[in-house]
Amino acid sequence: MEANADVNLAPKQDLNEVFLVGIIRENPVLVMLLSLCPILGVSSNFVNSVGMGVITGVVILFTNIMISLSGRFIPNEIRIPVIITIIATAVTIMEMLTNAFLPDLHAALGIFLPLIVVNCIVFGRAEGFALKNKLLPSILDALGITIGLVLAFGLMGFVRELLGTGAIGLLVLDLRIFPAEFAVPLFVMPAGAFIVLGVIVGIISTIKISKASKEKKNA
């Protein structure tokens, strides 16, 4: 099969940078504001929220590997349907595996699980990074983005469940931090998701702005 001349491989990059950039500095959810629909929908519970982050991360990893291995052979004219087919395959496989081995998580995530197919991050990393890079950087990119996703989903789930119920459920363990009477159920409801996400994004933006202005002063 002939190689696709339209795809130019990206210049060699610092692998540490490729891995680290997605964790905090370009966190897909809290900085780039992608994947907002699932994080608002499923983050009312810490375990489910982390589960969603991990499943999305596995899909990104699978897709990045497949695209980086086959990217040179994918004709430019049909790269989008090919990438979508690979993503849809990965998502369907993850859905079947979750349904079989983690049925509670599958039931809790509901429609948000198949909707990973249309998640901007998955397509963005596949088309924007893996298609132009070799296998190792693509794997590192997927791992960094996955850690960033799990951090964001975990943080949202933790804050919402803690404030909304006064406890954190860790599978069989139920850690009660404060009495349920003092919990504010608003935080586990849809409005609470917007409030918590807004506050977290606000804090991160403030830190970024103050850091940038300090660097400007020093320069």
Partner 1 sequence: MKKIIHLSLFLGLVVGISTIALAFVNDLTAPIIAEAQDVLFAQQRQAAFPEATRHISHATDAPYTLEIIEALSGDTTLGYIYVQEIMGFADVVRYMLVIDTNGYIRNFLTLFNMETPGFAYPPRLYYWAEHQFMDQYLDTHIDTLAAATVTTAPIIEAIRHAYDDFFARR
| Site residues for partner 1 per CB under 8 A | 41-42, 44-45, 73-75, 77-78, 81-82, 85-86, 88-89, 92-93, 96-97, 99-101, 103-104, 107-112, 114, 161, 164-167, 169, 174, 180-181, 183, 185, 188-189
Question: In sequence order, which ranges of the chain are alpha helices (DSSP H)?
Answer: 15-21, 36-42, 46-70, 79-101, 103-109, 120-128, 135-165, 190-218
Closest to partner 1 by CB, 30 vs 82, is: 82
Q: How far is the CB of 204 from partner 1 (least distance, A)?
A: 26
Type of residue at 176: R
**CB distance 91 to 114 below 8 Å:** yes
Q: In this complex, which beta carbon is closest to partner 1, that of residue 140 or of residue 159?
A: 159
Query: Which of 15, 107 has the CB closer to partner 1?
Result: 107
The rounded distance, in Å, linking the Cα atoms of 30 and 211 is: 17
Least CB distance to partner 1 at residue 160 (A): 9
CB of 163 to partner 1, least distance (A): 12
How far apart, in whole angstroms, are the C-alpha atoms of residue 41 and residue 37?
6
Nearest distance, CB of residue 102 and partner 1, angstroms? 11
User: In terms of residues, how long is the chain?
Assistant: 219
Cβ–Cβ under 8 Å, residues 93 and 116: no
Residue 104 in tokens:
């509670």
Smallest distance from the beta carbon of 20 to partner 1, in angstroms? 32
Question: Around Cβ 188, how many Cβ atoms within 10 Å?
Answer: 18
